[in-house]
Structure 1
Amino acid sequence: MSSAAVNGLAGAGGGIIAQIITYPLQTVNTRQQTERSAKKKKANGAAIANTSTLFQMLQLFQTEGWGGLYSGLKPSLIGTAASQGIYYYFYQILKNKVEDLAVARGKKGLGDGTVGMFSWLGIAAVAGSINVLLTNPIWVLVTRMQTHTQAEKKIMESKKELLLKDVARANSIEVSILKDRLYKLDSEKPRPYGTIQAVREVYRESGIRGFWKGLIPTLIMVCNPSIQFMIYETLAKRLRSKRSGKELPKKNLTAMEVFLLGAIAKLGATVVTYPLLVVKSRLQAKQEIGRNVMSRYTGTIDAIIKMIRYEGLHGFYKGMGTKIVQSVFAASVLFME
């Protein structure tokens, strides 16, 4: 078996284990990202307490059980295996080709025969882009399944709101009929919803193009490692410069310093790219019905404009705390392997 295939399988296996363990956090995070709230509305202290990740996980478990926490797990595992496998496979292929090219150039006196850091970043970006293009449909389905119950509730609320307006304008005979409809709406439960239903829904709404919703922000997020590297190098350079004239080694960083700088760089890259993740999730989730235009997006630019207009900058960072916790847990699981 080739080294590219081995790396692909190893990456897929580790990714699946991390995905299973942290999936409830991902579900809560996706729901947080897709939740709309007008920027004019100020939440009180109690409301803020009730939006904590732990509270939302417990609430989700109480109302929907384990099925709610792990909704969309099957396609997610397929997506994780495919994403990790595809990424590491193409990364290894590109790495081998670039290394061979560097050696060949070195023999001609055009270099030292090694691959530079920016070349590695370029390889990672290309492999990441290939992965996004091939696996985006899977993640559209996962997002739909994670947010299905949430979307169904909002659809019911919109229908009830319209019925209540009709009740206010109706005569006595019509009121009783409308009240019966309201009762039926209250007693309705979310429809059974699995992978097949998600596929049909996406295709019915947008055709084949619907499976690549959120592609643009996802492709841009491929630059996350580059941002992380630039932050790390900037901080490391400043730390080394402060050691000038001291007895400490000027060039070498301690293991603890490397760890802390890496953590800060990762956090910085997450803060920079997280808004794109929120936009991606909203584009992939089911668009809400009714007259509320703030809940419907026609594309990436439209989503960004409406989020700024109706929710402010806060909307772009919904659920970021949950995402950071989930990322730390996932990285810890992969590290233990």
Structure 2
Amino acid sequence: MSNAVVNGLAGASGGIVAQIITYPLQTVNTRHQTERVAKKDSTLTPATSPPSGTLVQIFQVIRNEGLGGLYSGLKPSLLGTAASQGIYYYFYQAFKNKAEAIAAANRKKGRGDGSPGMLSWLLVAALAGSLNVLLTNPIWVLVTRMQTQTQAERKIVEAKREALLKEASENVLTYSSLQGHLAALDSIKPHPYGTFQAACEVYNESGITGFWKGIIPTLIMVCNPSIQFMIYETSLKYLRAKRATWKQHLKDITALEIFLLGALAKLGATVSTYPLLVVKSRLQAKQEIGGNTLLRYSGTLDAIVKMIHYEGLGCFYKGMSTKIVQSVFAASVLFMIKEELVKAFALVAKSQKISLNITR
């Protein structure tokens, strides 16, 4: 089995475990990102009140939707994680092998120390990330829809309530009629929907192209794993060099060190690219929010302009603290599990080779 396949399988396994552990934080973070709250001087009427803190929102979701609300979209998310991590790590390792072969060839020619530089790591990660994004974006559109479905339904109900109250204040509705309509609205309980329903909604709204909504900011966000792996590989290389110099008998990097390096790499990448993640989530979430056309985005540039105009620059960093905790912890777990699985594969392969030689 090639090391690219081994890394792909190990990355998929690590990604699934990390996703299950941190999924509730991801759900809350996506809801934070897709909240529309106007600036004080904006002409846009806020669709909802400002979002509360992470823990408060977690308890609100549990109270209103049960524990299942925190895991809306988990099934396609696990499929997406397995596919994304498997595809990404497979191509990352394949391109990495090529970069290392080029670096080794350059060393023979007297150029370089035989190891890829930072630019090489960035290019390797960018190529792997671009292929991953193009192949798996439809899955993440469905996951975003499922995570924000109940939130969107509540916004629609709130908008209808405001419209009824406005009609009552203008004497368009009688008091008894108003009470009847409000009671009907109160009986509506937002509920998550399944993958098939989400897919139908996306297709009915935008056709096949709807499954690639947010592809532009997502492709730009390829720089996130590029930055992440640049920091990770550079730090790992530095640590191994120091370990080889200072402690010749302890050259192996421990699982805890991998965990910490993964956390450091993901932290730097997340802070750098978070605004793009918010734009992507806005584009992939349901656009019909209370019938307010100012809250709908026709594309990436339209979303950025409207977000700045109506909500201010702060909206690009909504929920960032939650995302940092979720993504850093998930990346740390992923890296640690992946590296341990790769070691395990190597040991199994080595033992099989030894036993094969013995039997011969």
Q: Cα 1:259–1:293, aligned 2, differ >3 Å: closer, same or farther?
A: same
**How far 1:167 sits from its partner (Å)?**
3.1
* Equivalenced residues, count: 315
The worse-fitting range, judged by mean Cα deviation, of 260-269 and 89-98 is 260-269
CA distance in 2, matches of 1:281, 1:109: 48
CA distance in 1, matches of 2:330, 2:308: 31
1:63 aligns with 2:64: yes
> What per-residue deviation string (whole Å, max 9, x for no partner) do you get for residues 105-141 of structure 1?
6666777654333122201100001000100000000
Secondary structure at 1:37 match in 2: coil
How does the TM-score come out when normalised to structure 1? 0.82
Aligned to 1:54: 55
Q: Cα 1:94–1:233, aligned 2, differ >3 Å: closer, same or farther?
A: closer
**How far 1:234 sits from its partner (Å)?**
12
Q: Do 1:19 and 1:330's aligned partners in 2 also have CA atoms closer than 8 Å?
A: yes
1:33 aligns with 2:33: yes
**How far 1:103 sits from its partner (Å)?**
4.7
> What per-residue deviation string (whole Å, max 9, x for no partner) do you get for residues 147-193 of structure 1?
00000000111222223333344567x66445423321221122551
> What per-residue deviation string (whole Å, max 9, x for no partner) do you get for residues 243-263 of structure 1?
xxxxxx9xx999999999986
Structure 2, unpaired ranges of 5+? 42-48, 236-241, 248-252, 338-360
How does the TM-score come out when normalised to structure 2? 0.77
CA distance in 2, matches of 1:130, 1:258: 26
Q: Cα 1:51–1:109, aligned 2, differ >3 Å: closer, same or farther?
A: same
Q: Cα 1:105–1:57, aligned 2, differ >3 Å: closer, same or farther?
A: same
CA distance in 1, matches of 2:265, 2:314: 22
Q: Do 1:294 and 1:307's aligned partners in 2 also have CA atoms closer than 8 Å?
A: no
- Look up the equivalent residue of 2:6 and give its one-letter code: V
Q: Cα 1:231–1:184, aligned 2, differ >3 Å: closer, same or farther?
A: same
CA distance in 2, matches of 1:85, 1:75: 15
1:116 aligns with 2:122: no
CA distance in 2, matches of 1:171, 1:277: 43
Identical columns (%): 72
Q: Do 2:157 and 2:290's aligned partners in 1 also have CA atoms closer than 8 Å?
A: no
CA distance in 2, matches of 1:231, 1:113: 19
Q: Do 1:140 and 1:211's aligned partners in 2 also have CA atoms closer than 8 Å?
A: yes
Q: Cα 1:187–1:308, aligned 2, differ >3 Å: closer, same or farther?
A: same
Aligned to 1:325: 325
CA distance in 1, matches of 2:273, 2:101: 33
CA distance in 2, matches of 1:28, 1:114: 41
CA distance in 2, matches of 1:274, 1:304: 13
Secondary structure at 1:331 match in 2: helix
Q: Do 2:137 and 2:215's aligned partners in 1 also have CA atoms closer than 8 Å?
A: yes
Aligned to 2:7: 7
Q: Do 1:213 and 1:283's aligned partners in 2 also have CA atoms closer than 8 Å?
A: yes
Aligned to 1:84: 85
Q: Do 2:259 and 2:335's aligned partners in 1 also have CA atoms closer than 8 Å?
A: no
**How far 1:95 sits from its partner (Å)?**
2.5
Q: Do 2:121 and 2:226's aligned partners in 1 also have CA atoms closer than 8 Å?
A: no
Q: Do 1:154 and 1:288's aligned partners in 2 also have CA atoms closer than 8 Å?
A: no
**How far 1:289 sits from its partner (Å)?**
3.5
How is 1:1-337 mapped onto 2 (pairs within 5 angstroms)?
Answer: 1-40=1-40, 51-103=52-104, 114-170=115-171, 176-190=176-190, 193-227=193-227, 266-290=266-290, 292-337=292-337
Secondary structure at 1:8 match in 2: helix
| RMSD, matched Cα | 3.4
- Look up the equivalent residue of 1:329 and give its one-letter code: F
Structure 1, unpaired ranges of 5+? 42-46, 236-248
Q: Cα 1:267–1:104, aligned 2, differ >3 Å: closer, same or farther?
A: closer
**How far 1:31 sits from its partner (Å)?**
0.4
Secondary structure at 1:209 match in 2: helix
CA distance in 2, matches of 1:228, 1:63: 36
